[in-house]
A and B are shown apart, each in its own frame.
Chain A
Amino acid sequence: MERLVFLLSTGLARGAVLALFALSLVIVYRAARVVNFAQAALAVVPVYVAVAVTAATGSYWLGLACALTAGALLGAVVERGLMRRVPQDNPLAGIIVAIGLVMVLQAGLAIAFGPDHRPVHAPFSQRPLTVGGVALMSPYDLFVLLVAAVVMGALAWLFGRTSLGLRMRAAAFAPETSRLLGVRVPRMVTLGWTLSIATAALAALLLVPTGLGLDPHAADVLFVNAFAAAVIGGLDSPVGALAAGLSVGVLASLVTGYASAAAAPPAVLALLTVVLLVRPHGLFAAREARTA
């Protein structure tokens, strides 16, 4: 029973990171109608920046801020410099270009920083707190949950309550109509990428201290799990990303705890396969009511 509580609570913390990353995939999917297969590599580059800044200045928070900035910048540069030029008529072109980008980035990082895992220290303790003798989550896990909640809340406020968010949503749902209403759609797409990569970078940064360390492939498994979560929740649905991210996180935690760490990826794969076969549009997807 105690084990279950522990696994559930750490699963929630892992799930929060997953949900954040899945949300970043939903943001870029809504903005650009692509599943960005380069998300992992694009998220890891800002983490390297953060680690370098933290090493130079001793401040985790400064590193965090730099990671967000670097992620935002990277998102904007990749969209304007590369993704915009991808031929739209072939749906596979975007995926193939993303794969090329992954190769360039990961190889570039390995060349620049070497392939070894760099340990990254968390700003809070990673030892689990005990309440009444039962091990729960660690202070760091609480921090992760808090950051994820704040960021998701901020994004929800941005998209739901501001004029900018309205324009971004309109540009995503109906690009041509939005242009007819004076919305600068290309700019909104760039902004979507910016937000997406910054969010993904944050998720990767939160994840890295809990693993073996930072290397160019640190976010690969995160991408696969978050992709699974985003698909399960519905690529179009932020709420779905949240719910599915938490669920997949808990599932992975339970499988790791009761079976083995190696059993988690196949378990997620099995879940993904089942969902794709039964409900390809995801569990929470909005109906495609696109013609009005």
Chain B
Amino acid sequence: MRLLTRAALLTLLALGATFLLDPYRNYQLATATGTFVAVAGLTLLVGLTGQLSLGHAVLMAAGGYGYAWAATWVATAVEGTTLADGAGGWLLPLLAGVAGAVVVAGLLGLLLGLAAARLRGPYLAGLTLALVIALPAAASTIPGLNGEQGVRAPFVPVPDPLALLIATEQWHAWLAILVAACAVTPLVAVRAGRAGLRMRAVHDDETAARLAGVDPGRVKAGAFVLSALAAGLGGAVLAIVTQQVSPGAYGLGFSLLLVVAAVVGGLGSLGGAAIGAVLVTLLPWVVDQATAALPADLGHRLQGNLEIALFGVVVIVVTLLRPGGLARLLPAKARSATSLPAKFFPTQ
């Protein structure tokens, strides 16, 4: 199938690219990849069904916590047994962790999705906003979440056969890329297939869709769950890369950055999601470099804030002037199946 070939090629390309990067860059690539998976789900959700979630970071956190619990549990369970020898020692917890991420994020996504299907734009946005603001508080009250400190995720060591070839950061980048490939390829298929068509139909005109036999509630909830699964896998990737899941990392700021990444890349565009994720990961680093030369106090104030201000400006400019986002600037992809036809955003 053409899709699988394309996916395989891109994956191999990405894996190969990791050889060209130094360890820190590979770490950045890994985090950007995790963000990319979440943004891909979000951009599909917003772009195709018009449901704006301001709390997708919570779904990532859910995936992260799910990964951490499941991986830790399996790791302690196989410790000392024969399963721990060879690849099993790291592979089993990893797989269990990914499954855990999918389950927890999926469940939360299902709950939210059922609610979301009944709500109009601003109400859903407000509800998800309330959710992300309640997360730190929920983390302190719900046992097992361990409050502010969060939960640790097991470290995935480089397997022995590869230990001489690649370093830890590159290995984690590989894992990130592989998870991303498994997560995003289905999204591409959904987008281009009948499910994607149903989503667009529901977004365009719910009544007409209903008359055509499409259940808007189910489609919207389904889209939400799909995006939640993607976010959960993104959270799992971040857990692998940082070995840590805490509420502070998944706060309002990060949630808004996910939206920024989706908007800047172009809502509905998966290629745009990649651009957005890279931008959101790199810009803070660029700002840090640029402000390093400034006096300490000013530099301190700009770090962490200047990029946010810039993101805000970019989001406003993109929405006012170029709603198609940066993805529309790429000539070859402009009118293919990866971007929405103009009639889905009718102009006055």
Contact = CB atoms under 8 A, between A and B. Distances in A.
Within the complex, are A and B direct neighbours (CB within 8 Å)? yes
A276 B130 CA distance: 13
B109 to A, nearest CB: 15
Interface in A21-40: 34-35, 37
A146 interface: no
A99 B301 contact: no
B346 A89 contact: yes
B312 A104 contact: yes
A100 interface: yes
Decide if the interface of chain A is mainly helix, strand, loop or mixed: helix
B127 A273 contact: yes
Interface in A204-258: 220-221, 224, 227-228, 231
Interface string A269-286: 100110011001000000
Contacts of A272: 126-127, 130
A103 B309 contact: yes
A52 interface: no
Interface string B135-172: 01110110000000000000000000000000000000
B162 to A, nearest CB: 41
A82 to B, nearest CB: 7
A62 interface: no
B301 to A, nearest CB: 5
Contacts of A262: 136-137, 140-141
B54 interface: yes
Contacts of B249: none
Interface size class of A (residues with CB under 8 A): 35 or more
Nearest to A235: B122
Interface stretch (A53-61, A108-116, A163-171): A108-116
B291 to A, nearest CB: 11
B122 A35 contact: yes
Contacts of A291: none
A87 B137 CA distance: 36
Contacts of A108: 305, 309
Contact of B133 (A103, A106, A220): A220
A224 to B, nearest CB: 5
A92 interface: yes
Interface size class of B (residues with CB under 8 A): 35 or more
Contacts of B252: 220
A276 B119 contact: yes
A265 B137 contact: yes
Contacts of A276: 115, 118-119, 123, 127
Interface of B: 46, 50, 52, 54, 115, 118-123, 125-127, 129-131, 133-134, 136-138, 140-141, 252, 256, 259-260, 263, 301-302, 304-306, 308-309, 311-316, 319-320, 323, 345-348
28 contacts: A35-B122, A35-B126, A37-B125, A87-B320, A89-B347, A91-B122, A96-B259, A96-B315, A97-B316, A100-B260, A100-B316, A107-B309, A108-B305, A110-B304, A110-B305, A111-B301, A111-B302, A228-B126, A262-B140, A263-B137, A263-B141, A264-B137, A268-B134, A269-B134, A273-B127, A276-B119, A276-B127, A280-B118
Given A101-B312, A280-B118, 20 more contacts: A34-B122, A35-B122, A35-B125, A88-B348, A89-B348, A95-B52, A96-B263, A99-B54, A100-B260, A100-B312, A104-B309, A108-B309, A111-B302, A228-B126, A231-B126, A260-B141, A266-B137, A266-B138, A276-B115, A280-B123
Which 9 A-B pairs have CB atoms at the shortest separation, nearest pair first?
A: A103-B312, A100-B315, A104-B312, A107-B309, A35-B122, A107-B308, A100-B316, A265-B134, A262-B137
